[in-house]
Amino acid sequence: MSLKSLLKKRVVIKGEKVQDVGYRLFLLEAAESFGLKGFQAGNVEEYVEFSSGGRG
């Protein structure tokens, strides 16, 4: 069995119109489709930030 490294990425989406447009749900579904674990998302004033990780 080969060992693969764990990867974690952090993404920030900035702009005036990031509220109430479904970014968190979209990102959660995308993370799940890639088999990523540990999904976290926050929606703060003018940006959405999320991080997730998996095996590379």
pLDDT digits (tens, 9 = 90+) for 14-53: 877 777 777 788 888 888 887 877 777 777 777 777 777 7
pLDDT value, residue 1: 44
Question: What six digits make up the tokens of 29?
Answer: 């579904």
Q: Which residues neighbour 14 within 8 Å (Cβ) at sequence distance 6 or greater?
A: 46, 47
DSSP state of 21: S
Among the residues of 1-45, which ranges form H helices? Answer: 23-33
Which of these, 9, 5, 3, 4, lies nearest to 36 by C-alpha position?
A: 9
pLDDT value, residue 4: 65
pLDDT value, residue 30: 83
pLDDT value, residue 55: 67
pLDDT value, residue 39: 77
Distance of CA 10 to the CA centre of its chain: 7
Q: In terms of pLDDT, which residue wins out, 38 or 3?
A: 38
